[in-house]
Amino acid sequence: MQAMKSGLNVALLLTAAALAHTASGAVILDIDGSGKLTGARNVDVLGTLYDVAFVDGTCGVAFAGCDSVFDFAFPSNVPGATAAGQALLDTVFIDSAAGMFDSAPNLVAGCGDSFVCMALIPTNIAFDVVFGYDAVNFGQGIGDLVSTFNPVAIAGDLSTVARQVWAVFTPAAPAPVPEPTTVALFAAGLAGFWLGGRRRRGAG
C-alpha cells in the first residue's frame, strides 16, 4: 500500500512540475531570415512574462502614438523598467547557438553598431521628450549595464541612430491549457493504477 501511495505521489508531483514548466515557459528568441534578433517571447520581468519587440522609428510609431505614459509597459515604474533591461541582458542579448547577440550587438534588429546596442525602455514623457531606461549591450566582452537614457524627442527617429532601438514590452499570452481529454485520460490512468494495486492486495 505504501509503495502504491508513493508511486501515485511521484506521478502527481511530476505532472505538477511539467504543467508549471509549461506555464512559465522558456525565453524564445525571434530571429529573422537574415539572422537579426527582432525580439523575444516569455521574458521574465519580476515574475511576469512579457514578449518584447525591437522597433526602429519614432516613439509614436513604436508606442501607439506615444502621447501617454500608459502607452508604455512600465509607466513611471523604475523597478519594472530596470528589471526589464536586466532581463534583456541576462536572457536575450546573449551568445548562443542561435546567434552571438552579446558579442555582436549589430545583430540586434535596429542596431547597426558593432560596439554597442542600447534598447530603450521608456517610462515617462515630459515637454515632448521621452525618458526611461536602457539595456546597454556592449560587444567585445565589455560589461553590459542598465542605465537611464538621455531624453529622446517624441518625434525623434531612432532609425537614423545606429546605436539605439525601442524595446516594446507587452504581456505574454497565457500558456495553453492542456486539453480536457488529455487531463481526463491521465487521471483515468492514475485511478486504474491505484485500483489495480488495491485489487492485487485484496486477492493476496
pLDDT digit string, tens, across residues 16-61: 333 343 345 799 999 999 999 999 999 999 999 999 999 999 999 9
**Below-70 pLDDT ranges, the chain:** 1-24, 175-204
- The predicted pLDDT at position 109 comes to 98
Question: Would you say 148 and 132 are in contact if contact means Cβ atoms under 8 Å apart?
Answer: yes
- Other Cβ atoms closer than 10 A to 6: 10
- The predicted pLDDT at position 183 comes to 46
The sign one gets for the Cα dihedral 167, 165, 112, 36 is positive
The structure's pTM equals: 0.76
Q: How far, in Å, CA of 177 to CA of 46, rounded?
A: 23
- The predicted pLDDT at position 204 comes to 58
- The predicted pLDDT at position 201 comes to 57
- The predicted pLDDT at position 147 comes to 97
Question: Would you say 73 and 87 are in contact if contact means Cβ atoms under 8 Å apart?
Answer: no
